[in-house]
Chains A and B, each alone.
Chain A
Amino acid sequence: MMLRLSSHLSSRLVNLNKAKREGRKIIGYTPGGYLPEELVLASGAIPICLIRGGDHSAVELAGAYICRWLDTFCRAQIGYGVSRDDPYYNIVDTLAIPITDNHIRAVSDVLDYNTDIEIFPFGIPHMKEKSTLDYYLHGITRLKAKLEELTGVEITEPKLREAISLCNRERELLRKISLMRESELVPISSKDFVALNHSSFLADKEVMVENLESLYNELQERAVPLHKGPRILLTGSTLALGDSKILDIIEELGGVVVIEEFAEGIRPYWEDVKLDGNLMEALADCYFMRRIPPAWFRPGMERRDFLIKLAKDFNVSGVIWYQLMYRESYKIESYYFPDLLKKETGLPMLTIESDYDAAEVGPMRTRIETFIETIRR
């Protein structure tokens, strides 16, 4: 199945270009899980999440446009955007940017000023209250109007319902596959599960769902060997497509990542959109109110409680917290979360930081190796 998906993705750009020539609009968006793809699909446009990262040359390119004290992934997006080095940046008609924090805002402002990419920002508040929900709902309502204007297609209730059903199915399948890893026998590696997530940001939605369905069936029937390595929860700000060194190192050293929790790079698949009532309100309810928020929410207790629940449910032996440089929300939480984790579960945590620099690999390997040896005992 992974091969089929990989083949679909290798011809994805060609197919997107063809669709574009035929008049379909391509809507790029930044990851973070706050853009309801359902709206894009219901407008007849194609959603593409700009999820590439892990590449220090893109970070270096950004240096001419912004100082270095911004998140590594966000600087990489600026690098790709200004250089058009990432082909997906060349193909989008509009780049919708849910403004989650000041790092993502930097991407929006710098690309808006320095490129001809049409930017559509809309704000994501940092707390769950009535006024913040209203603001989020207003943001996605503006997005809906923008998509209708861009595509000339009215997003009707039946079209939106159909798109929600499709996206719910995708979330449900990812959830089911992920939950299979609660078992002692882990039927899918984290690298493969992360690859599924990354694929879901780029692939045609129906193709993706079909592939997930066959994979789910395949995994149910597969005889799984027992991995003896320590089970690990991997969490952090961003796990981009191409930023594979953390997973490579953990797996090479015998660790088994059984669950991932990331603000950017892993699709929020825990909740589905309810299909009763007003569908725009249902989108806001799922994408904003019921979503486990990232660390830039304040306070961040909901996410921390969720991490503790994941650690218990997936029976892990340790947590690896992988953050990118200068994302201050994660840096600060990484200071006091280990005490909370220890208190609630007795588990240790290792914090790793990256600036997408090749020189990091050696020290990263040493630290992870020591951590895995410690929790293996």
Chain B
Amino acid sequence: MANYYDELLKLCGFEAEEINNERPRIEKAFRKLELGPEDVKRAESRVKQNHDIELMGVRKLLGVWFKELVDLVLARDEGKKVVYYGFPTIMGPGMAVAIASQEIYCACPDVVLCHTMGQIFNKLAPILEAGEENGLPPGHGLCSLQQIRVGALAKGIIPIPDMVFGSSYFCDMGSKADELLHERYGHPTIYIDGSMDSRWGEYPEYLPQRVEFLGAQLSKLFDKVKEILGVEVTQDVWNKANAMSRDVYSGIGQLTTQVAKADPMPISRADVEVSVFLFSGSTGRARTEGPNALAILNQEVKKRIDTGVGVVEEGAPRIMTMYEHFSDPSITHMMEDAGLAISATVFGPPPKSRPTYTTLSEMVAEREMRLGAYHSAYGIAKRCELSVEDSKVDGVIYNYLYNCRPFALTSHLVKRWIEENMGVPVLSLEFDLYDSRSYSAAALRTRVETFAEMLRAKKSVRQSTKG
């Protein structure tokens, strides 16, 4: 029998049979999430407004997030051991823990909630407010992603975890928020520590001790997983996790490469975003359904490119952003409405390298050093530079997260670095990627439109000079 949420599920790529099979779980999850017919109605119009629902790949990707939300909310009731990891994430450990045992549910709940309660339902505000009331008050530049996690636990909409492992290698805030939750709920918290002490100019070089230190911390994590959850992350498990990650990443890589090269831009960056952080939030549905959704979307995008369909005018100025908004796609659309084609993000294709370490943990640590973000502020600036070079964009909107200290400290550095070294204009935009209450959309629009106008003028001068 049809129900009030069937249309929304169809918009999110659910098949009729899936809807029927999942109905009891979805209804139970909706009760916990306090989602009713009005919320669903709003979500339907929001999905139609923000996403290209002609593309089945986009719908399927939204469905992957939706199903992950249901899995997250019901994990404890369904007898799973619950493990949370932090964002930003070192790729691999979470996936390895998840596939080491079918009894474990492992995810970054705040990222899942952003992409669902935020992006689909626009109902993050009560969760954020609960986070503010439970230890992370507003007005202090505290991370809204952490407010979401704290708020969701305080409201009882996500289960209290059996174990948490935090991004102590990057972020002080996340680790202290993990500690706050540990004080309240008592679950074991494992801090994967590190120290971003490379000096300006050092990347891509790094001290081998940094790899050894982070490697030792990752080994500690696997030891603790065995001790606390009784699950062993073996080399075989790790190899499987890597193979599965590769499947999803090759799909994401194919999508971002197609989009980066296309003119006109075949799909909105808001529709690319739903794939990019899939693994940062999910190790379950991302793994089982992500590759298929991405394959469908890649085919659809190719077709659009072949037929010259675009969401932004051909020849529009091309820009790079830091990241797209996790919960409010309207910001991405606002940039595109201003006539900008978002063709790349700061962390473009990773630099190619061969591992020089042989132990599992050190290989992961070495890869993370080379990726730059956990290396240093200079590592972030250089990755940005490489991405500008690779994507040949006309400008950069550096929408840094004001409440994330590792990114906030790069606010002026990256702008100056790119403008001085690449001659590419940068609009530095203070931003919150998770909480849409933290900025004025109108103020952002004014700055973005002015920047777009300037890029168009520059581009036109360049073209007439060439002509």
Contact assessment for B199 and A336 in the assembled complex, using a CB-CB cutoff below 8 Å: no
Q: Does B179 contact A300, Cβ atoms closer than 8 Å?
A: yes
Q: Which of B141, B182, B378, B410 has the most CB of A within 10 A?
A: B141
Which residues of chain A have C-beta atoms less than 8 A from B406's C-beta?
A: 102, 105
CA distance A336 to B135 in the complex (A): 8
**Contacting residues of chain B (170-185) with chain A, CB-CB under 8 angstroms:** 171-173, 175-180, 182-184
Q: Which of A69, A108, A138, A333 is B176 in contact with, Cβ under 8 Å?
A: A333
Query: Beyond A65-B412, A70-B408, A336-B180, is A328–B193 a contact (Cβ under 8 Å)?
Result: no
Interface members, chain B 396-442 (any A CB < 8 Å): 400, 402-403, 405-406, 408-413, 416-417, 430
A336 to B184, CA, bound (A): 9
Taking a contact as CB atoms under 8 Å apart, the answer to whether B191 and A126 are in contact is yes
**Which listed residue, B196, B197, B216, touches A131 by the CB 8 Å rule?**
B216
Interface membership of B144, Cβ < 8 A = no
A111 closest partner in B (C-beta): B200
Name the interface residues of A21-63: CB closer than 8 Å to any CB of B: none
**A134 lies within 8 A of chain B by Cβ:** yes
Query: Which single member of A102, A110, A121, A132 contacts B405 (CB below 8 Å)?
Result: A102
Please pick, from A108, A131, A139, A336, the residue contacting B220 in the complex, using a CB distance under 8 A.
Answer: A131
Selected from B141, B172, B189, B212, the residue in CB contact (under 8 A) with A69 is: B141
Q: Which residues of A contact B403 (CB under 8 A)?
A: 69
- Given A105-B377, A126-B191, are A138 and B199 neighbors across the interface (CB < 8 Å)? no
A109 contacts partner chain B, Cβ-Cβ < 8 Å: yes
- B142 to A298, Cβ gap below 8 A? no
Residues of A contacting B166 with CB < 8 Å?
A: 298
Verify if A262 is at the interface (C-beta below 8 Å from B).
Answer: no
A99 touches B176 (CB 8 A): no
B9 to chain A, nearest CB (A): 39
CA distance A92 to B409 in the complex (A): 24
B212 CB, nearest partner CB in chain A, Å? 8
Cβ of A99 and Cβ of B172 under 8 Å apart? no
Question: What CA separation (Å) do A221 and B42 show in the bound complex?
Answer: 78
Task: Please determine whether B140 and A67 come into contact, CB atoms closer than 8 angstroms.
Answer: no
A127 to chain B, nearest CB (A): 5
In the bound complex, do residue A126 and residue B213 qualify as a contact, i.e. CB atoms below 8 Å apart? no
Q: How far is the CA of A54 from the CA of B415 in the complex (A)?
A: 29
B197 contact set on A, CB distance < 8 A: 99, 105, 121-123, 139
Bound: A332/B136 CA distance, A = 7
Is B217 an interface residue when CB atoms closer than 8 A count as contact?
yes
A329 CA / B413 CA spacing, docked (Å): 24
Q: What residues of A have a CB within 8 angstroms of the CB of B180 in the complex?
A: 332, 335-336
A residues in contact with B173, CB < 8 Å: 328-329, 332
**Which has the most chain A C-beta neighbours within 10 Å: B193, B197, B409, B430?**
B197
B176 and A106 contact, CB distance less than 8 A? no
Report yes or no: B409 in contact with A132, Cβ–Cβ below 8 A: no
Q: What sequence of 0s and 1s flags, for each residue 114-151 of chain B, a beta carbon within 8 Å of any chain A beta carbon?
A: 00000000000000000000011100111100000000
Q: Once bound together, how far apart are the Cα atoms of A127 and B195, in whole Å?
A: 11
Which of the residues B201, B207, B213, B417 comes within 8 Å of A132, measured between beta carbons?
A: B213
Is B209 in the interface zone, CB < 8 Å from A? yes
Contact A67 B378 (CB under 8 A): no
Query: In the bound complex, do residue A109 and residue B378 qualify as a contact, i.e. CB atoms below 8 Å apart?
Result: yes
**Is there a chain A Cβ closer than 8 Å to B168's Cβ?**
yes
In chain B, what residue has the closest Cβ to A113?
B200
Select which of B140, B142, B177, B409 is within 8 A of A102 by beta carbon: B409
List the B side residues contacting A131 at CB < 8 Å. Answer: 212-213, 216-217, 220
Q: How many angstroms from the CA of A359 to the CA of B184 in the assembled complex?
A: 36
User: Does B405 contact A328, Cβ atoms closer than 8 Å?
Assistant: yes
A157 to chain B, nearest CB (A): 24
The answer to whether A99 and B142 touch (CB under 8 A), given A70-B409, A109-B378, is: no
Q: A125 contacts B213, CB within 8 Å?
A: yes
On whether A299 and B412 interact (CB within 8 A), knowing A112-B200, A113-B200, A134-B213, the answer reads no
Q: Which of B168, B213, B410, B417 contacts A135 (CB 8 A)?
A: B213
A contact residues around B377 at 8 Å (CB): 105-106, 109
A76 at interface (Cβ–Cβ under 8 A)?
no
* Chain B residue at smallest Cβ distance from A323: B140
**Contact at A124–B213, with CB atoms within 8 Å?**
no
A102, B171: Cβ atoms under 8 Å? yes
Footprint of B on A, CB under 8 Å?
A: 64-67, 69-70, 99, 101-103, 105-106, 108-110, 112-113, 119-127, 129-132, 134-135, 138-139, 295-296, 298-300, 325-326, 328-329, 331-333, 335-336
What are 29 A-B residue pairs whose CB atoms fall within 8 Å in the complex?
A64-B412, A66-B412, A69-B402, A69-B405, A102-B171, A105-B197, A105-B377, A112-B200, A113-B413, A113-B417, A119-B199, A121-B199, A123-B210, A125-B213, A131-B212, A131-B217, A134-B212, A138-B207, A139-B197, A296-B176, A298-B168, A298-B193, A299-B182, A328-B173, A328-B405, A329-B176, A332-B135, A332-B176, A332-B177
**A-B pairs, 9 with minimum CB distance:** A123-B195, A123-B197, A131-B216, A102-B405, A106-B409, A112-B200, A67-B411, A69-B141, A298-B175
Chain B interfacial positions (CB closer than 8 Å to A): 135-137, 140-143, 166, 168, 171-173, 175-180, 182-184, 189, 191, 193-201, 207, 209-210, 212-213, 216-217, 220, 376-378, 400, 402-403, 405-406, 408-413, 416-417, 430
Give 19 new A-B contacts, CB below 8 A, not counting A119-B200, A121-B199.
Answer: A66-B411, A67-B400, A70-B405, A99-B197, A108-B199, A109-B409, A122-B197, A123-B197, A131-B212, A132-B213, A135-B209, A298-B166, A331-B142, A332-B136, A332-B173, A332-B179, A332-B180, A335-B136, A335-B137
